[in-house]
Copies of this chain bind each other. A is one copy, B any other.
């Protein structure tokens, strides 16, 4: 059967017939529509019409041989299906027929069938063995290369870890029952511990690799499996193990660290109390030293003084308990003590009570609970005594004499955890962006009334503006957090006050960014985003609490701001403000230069894309906010307002400063890193991402910049237009950019992303 059997006019109908017969589309309505079209088609002869009608007879469908010959004709034509044609099927049909008979026009009746049946390319493109011309992505950039840049020095660790995640134990499914879910997550944690990941940040002596930076990267990758896995893993190895590692001494390391890293000793980190979350210094649990028995008595005094929200509380054998250490009737402040919770049979020890926190918005695979202690005695050796100890004569001793400084030195060990939480939030945001963008690169909705093919969601300017700046931010924050961990781990810089302050601010803006991003992605996926199977819903629930735990964002922002105000010389986390005030009074001076009127309304592209402009604007904002807060506080103090009240009065201003400083820091970290990218092609891409980030952030605070006279109306408008334009320009790179996040296919299970 060849072209000789069909006239050119009949040939044009072949594709239609092939589709409606092969895809089981031939209902009464279809027959009606096709019959009408044929009847009205004056290009067809009577014999053509007879032939076509024959093929519409449901009782005598075309023989298989005929059917195959149609496909052969289509394939032999070598014609490509071009999805973004106005009438892709009519155009395709015309091109197929033209391959055999020259000079054929587009048949309006076929167009009509295409329109009336509403046959869209995604209904039939799988039927043809032809190349389909879908232009959803540019091949300009390599996702592999982008991923390589993001992995930096940790490529081997990350690649190995992603391979490990292939194990079926990590395959995602819906788990509604918290007990089953928790047990499964526990198995996953034990599996990773067996592979050596639990001890990763500990020293080689204790089975580890001394690789805290690598630990942070795999922590982020765990979010591609499940939020509960990441958090339970973090509680066991980072918080419980980390307290032993960082607050304990060699005797504790020797005794517990190997078992902790291998998950043979499950533990929890019992700091927060029902009555005291953010204000750790005010916790009520007491650890009273009895010198006769050489024991510490752990006790929960009041009804709201129980430990609250303690992760791993139901699976743990031991807790690292934070309590007011009382020695010789004197309160020496908060210390951590290792307290056994359960015996070998997993029964609670005397005096200990644990209550399940129950179901939560997310993270139901983590067993959070409340813990009460009723006069529980433990040997004095259980005091994690790196920063404060009880001597043989029963007296307390610490090298850090200032109790305030001692407290914050201990809390400083939490900073690594804050970086990890921010990274986990970022991992969640990357996952959600990947799902949403891959969906928007497939999903079509609405069209020009003359087109049969609907438009890709990702081609709508509103989608571009919603999602593209969020992608840019993911890149900026990835690089920033990587750098922060590096600085934090740098043993050559023992004074961590600056990095602690910086992490406080970054943890806040990045976990908020993560929540906003996941929310935007949920909405961008419409109802599909609401189904658990598409994974965004779980991320929403899991990441939500990241803004609260490991330090409430609003509190952390104020700490960050106080750090900036005191030029990082005050104690981190300090609730007392005297150091800040002292520094303020000596340092206040407005370093700001006047802004040139030409600069205020400079709107050319080179200027707006120039990192020098971005850095100048972001620095100006931080400096100016610092100066104005300092002036306000000084004014209050002069009026005799107590410093605590004065700081309360500027509380919202402080938070604004905390955010501004963090954004400046992130952008500067990113452009600093860009200078290390060798390939100029990808370097340019990263620079564009930086520009989009900086302009978006300046745009968010445009009202402030305008109020300050730093930018004029025309510049403000130009920035808005540039943000929109950049989003449109980056549309062809989006697919590579989300693939560049490197989420392994075995983790990307959302049906709408495939």
Contact = CB atoms under 8 A, between A and B. Distances in A.
Contact of A360 (B123, B532, B713): B532
A649 interface: yes
Contacts of A526: 277-278, 548, 552
Given A29-B297, A713-B706, A537 B277 contact: no
Given A32-B326, A547-B523, A644-B448, A176 B359 contact: yes
Contacts of A680: none
A462 B360 contact: no
| Interface hub of A23, A119, A445 (most chain B Cβ within 10 A) | A445
A527 interface: yes
A284 B461 contact: no
| Interface hub of A29, A301, A302, A515 (most chain B Cβ within 10 A) | A29
A530 B176 contact: no
Interface stretch (A47-55, A216-224, A538-546): A538-546
Interface in A28-72: 28-30, 32-33, 35-36
Interface in A601-660: 642, 644-645, 648-649, 651-652, 655
B360 A326 contact: no
A27 interface: yes
A448 B642 contact: yes
| Interface hub of A32, A515, A709 (most chain B Cβ within 10 A) | A32
Contacts of A651: 460-462
Contact of A176 (B176, B304, B523, B699): B176
B277 A445 contact: yes
A549 interface: yes
A702 interface: yes
Interface in A331-381: 331, 357-362, 375
A392 interface: no
Interface in A161-180: 174, 176-178
Contacts of A35: 329
A290 B655 CA distance: 69
A29 B285 CA distance: 10
A361 B540 contact: yes
Contacts of A541: 361, 537, 541
Contacts of A549: 527
| Interface hub of A277, A284, A301, A515 (most chain B Cβ within 10 A) | A301
A27 B309 CA distance: 24
Contacts of A272: 527
Interface in A274-310: 275-279, 282, 284, 286, 288, 290, 297, 299, 301-304, 308-309
Contact of A531 (B357, B575, B706): B357
B530 A278 contact: no
A117 interface: yes
Given A461-B652, A713-B707, A28 B297 contact: yes
A360 B445 contact: no
Contact of A29 (B275, B288, B533): B288
A522 interface: yes
A520 to B, nearest CB: 11
Nearest to A449: B576
Contact of A27 (B301, B703, B708): B301
A328 B39 CA distance: 13
| Interface hub of A178, A328, A699, A703 (most chain B Cβ within 10 A) | A703
A28 B644 CA distance: 34
Contacts of A642: 448
A445 B286 contact: no
Interface in A94-123: 116-120, 122-123
Lowest 3 A-B CB distances belong to which pairs? A361-B537, A702-B703, A29-B288
29 contacts: A25-B301, A27-B301, A28-B299, A29-B324, A32-B288, A36-B330, A118-B324, A119-B302, A174-B359, A277-B527, A282-B446, A358-B532, A360-B532, A361-B530, A446-B575, A461-B648, A462-B554, A515-B519, A519-B519, A522-B544, A523-B547, A526-B548, A526-B552, A530-B548, A540-B544, A652-B724, A699-B703, A702-B706, A706-B706
Given A32-B329, A530-B544, A702-B706, 16 more contacts: A36-B330, A309-B527, A357-B531, A358-B532, A359-B532, A448-B645, A449-B575, A449-B644, A460-B651, A461-B651, A519-B544, A526-B548, A529-B548, A541-B541, A703-B716, A707-B716
